[in-house]
Amino acid sequence: MSYAGDVSPTEAWELLENDENTVLVDCRTTAEWNFVGVPDLEVLGKRTIFIEWTTFPSGTPNGQFVEQLREAGIADDSRVLFICRSGHRSIGAAEAATAAGISQSYNVRDGFEGGLDENDHRGGTGWRAANLPWRQS
């Protein structure tokens, strides 16, 4: 594994709640943030950091991803939890951050909405299904 590991949405919440230096990076696209919803960390006195891993609408990789992490204040010793829709793009984000020296880079397994079920629907797993705080943008 080329990143620190996977955590469940509930484990991610516990890390965010119990460690002031843990941050959540939502690496979905602006369209997903605007139309699907976003994790809400307000009750923890924190904010989600929003940096696209792939750009919308082209789907091309964000060539400034690591630079934007740094601009957001993420240092090598930060614990960073990356979340996407289903927990796949966030693996790539965690790998890129690890390669850039941010060794405590984690993937939030099942992401915000989870993978597709037998009916090709999302929502049975992930951040929202775990009833963690979220809001519409």
- Domain coordinates in residue numbering, the chain: 5-120
The pLDDT of residue 114 is: 87
Superfamily (CATH H level) for 5-120 = Rhodanese-like domain (3.40.250.10)
Structure tokens, 129: 């299904």
- Separation between Cα atoms, residue 27 and residue 25, nearest integer Å: 6
Give the SS3 label for residue 13. Answer: helix
The pLDDT of residue 41 is: 98
DSSP E strand boundaries for the chain: 5-7, 22-26, 38-39, 49-50, 79-83, 104-108, 134-135
Q: What are the Cα distances from residue 100, in Å, to 24, 78, 135? A: 17, 12, 31
Name every residue whose Cβ is closer than 8 Å to that of residue 58 and which is 6 or more positions away in sequence: none
> For residue 1, is pLDDT > 80?
no
What is the per-residue pLDDT across 3-44, written as a single tens digit (0 to 9) for each?
999 999 999 999 999 999 999 999 999 999 999 999 999 999
> For residue 137, is pLDDT > 80?
no
Give the SS3 label for residue 8. Answer: coil
Q: Which amino acid belongs to residue 108?
A: V
- Separation between Cα atoms, residue 2 and residue 4, nearest integer Å: 7
